[in-house]
Amino acid sequence: MIKEFFKNTFAFIQQNPTISYSLLLILILPLTLYFSTFSTIQSLNEAIKTSIRSQAAMNRDSLSLFLLRDFPNKDSLNKDQLQQDIDAIAKSAASSEEGNRLENIRVIVKEGRSFKAIAAQNHDDVGKAINTDPTLNGEALIAYGWAISTNDYGSEIEQNGKKYFRIVKPLIDSSTQDVYALISADIPTDVVANKITATVWQAYAILSAVIVLILFLVFQHTKLFSYVSLSRKLQIENTAKDNFIRMATHELRSPVTVINAYIESLKEELAPVVNKEQKIYIERISISIKNLIDLMSDILEVSHIQQGRTDFKPEKIAPGPVVKGIVDGVKSKAQAKGLELILEGDNFPYAINVNPVCFGRIITNLIENSVKYTPAGKVAVSIKAETAKKRCVITVQDTGFGISAEGQKRLFEQFYRVKTQDNAGIPGTGLGLWMSRQMAQKMGGDIMVESIEHMGSRFFVIFPLSDKLA
């Protein structure tokens, strides 16, 4: 049973390799965050402890220098003067910041086998014997400090529930080199310790929240595995659909082309004998066939773009001659409608990097659209260089029906056509502008539009400038 479970699990991971990444995220990210936070906290602790030790050493040296200036040896000890000095130090230390304040300052001497304070910040401690039992945290340092007279000493202690760093400074007789007294003082570290603790807890709280968030996101990610099969199925179905559309379009183009050829032949042969009404019918059939050919061409091109089969490999071309050739080719359609078709800037001095075929389709589509949707007036095409922005702008402006603000928002969507009473009888697929903009953007350019209803439209085709033509 267990063997079967692991076998099925391994097979599932093989079929869905992305799950292994999620498992790694679940294990590695929380552990990485934990150890990173732990290491940072340890480093912070060490840095703070080092800082406390350094500050304690400075305080110990300052304290000993202040007290030793008048007492270089055992015989020079003056209890009253010592007490005055300690009182002065305590008064000054009371206003110091945490980590630099001194408490429980004492000057301690040894009498026989016992120790007592001869001067102390707490006057009640003067003259009392000090119990240096090792079980008493802190006071054992007095005996230890006397024993290792050649070294200053300091250690963390805890008294009455509070934490301190105790410093001990042996006073060495200048003539005998024996210890004749100890200076002891405590630096409170509670505030620092509390801050460290608060920081540690805050860091672990943030770490816990981050780990929970990561696990939540990872588990949410793992839920997507249930959709992997569905996603693959949809990809296969979409590919099959695109392939079917492409195949069906290819298969339909041949008979439709033949039908169109027969219709054109019939128009010529029957022209002398058909009446006016029959001529209208034949003309409508011819228009419908041409619209069907255009639709199939557009659908095929859409399929190519979506499947990445369209060639967008750029070449350095001079846009002027290309646009002029397109304008000359469309001029007969414009003249048939009584429109004036104007071109400015065909001697454009710069090159652009585009695919020539796609560029030609874009410009042809825009100019033919302007001619199609302009009942009277003119269509003006211009090519200009905006050198400050390093771009070529080809403008196609007409005096046609214009497009509403709402229509402009959806103008470049697939199969969308602006429907008004003015253009109701004009055929179209609603794919031309979508394809044109897709091709422009895939070549590093774009298409924009400005339009006012009943006044006309202006389309801008924008591409980056290349070298200046020789």
Q: What pLDDT does 180 receive?
A: 80
User: Domains of the chain by range and CATH?
Assistant: 73-188 (3.30.450.20), 311-470 (3.30.565.10)
Q: What is the DSSP string of 104-136?
A: EEEEEEEETTEEEEEEESSGGGBT-EE---TTS
Residue 106 reports pLDDT greater than 80: yes
* Portion of the chain with pLDDT greater than 70, in percent: 72
Residue 50 reports pLDDT greater than 60: yes
| pLDDT top residue among 131 and 64 | 131
Give the mean pLDDT of the chain: 78
d(CA 183, CA 65): 11
Q: What pLDDT does 393 receive?
A: 95
Q: What pLDDT does 187 receive?
A: 80
Residue 182 reports pLDDT greater than 70: yes
Integer angstrom CA distances of residue 272 from 263, 264, 266: 15, 14, 11
Task: Provide the CA 376 distance to its chain's centre, in angstroms.
Answer: 52
Q: How many CB atoms lie within 10 A of CB 105?
A: 24
Q: What pLDDT does 439 receive?
A: 92
Q: What is the DSSP string of 396-448?
A: EEE-SS---HHHHHTTTSTT-----SSSTT----S-HHHHHHHHHHHTT-EEE
**pLDDT tier for residue 178 given thresholds of 50, 70 and 90:** confident
pLDDT in tens, 290-299: 777 777 777 7
**pLDDT tier for residue 368 given thresholds of 50, 70 and 90:** very high
Q: What pLDDT does 390 receive?
A: 92
Q: What pLDDT does 150 receive?
A: 61
Q: What pLDDT does 69 receive?
A: 61
Q: How many CB atoms lie within 10 A of CB 272?
A: 6
**pLDDT tier for residue 209 given thresholds of 50, 70 and 90:** confident
Cβ contacts of 6 within 8 Å, gap of 6 or more? none
Q: How many CB atoms lie within 10 A of CB 149?
A: 14
Cβ contact 327:343 at 8 Å: yes
Residue 413 reports pLDDT greater than 60: yes
Most confident of 63-77, 99-113, 141-155, 441-455: 441-455
Would you call 161 helix, strand, or coil by DSSP? coil
pLDDT in tens, 223-244: 555 555 666 677 776 666 666 6
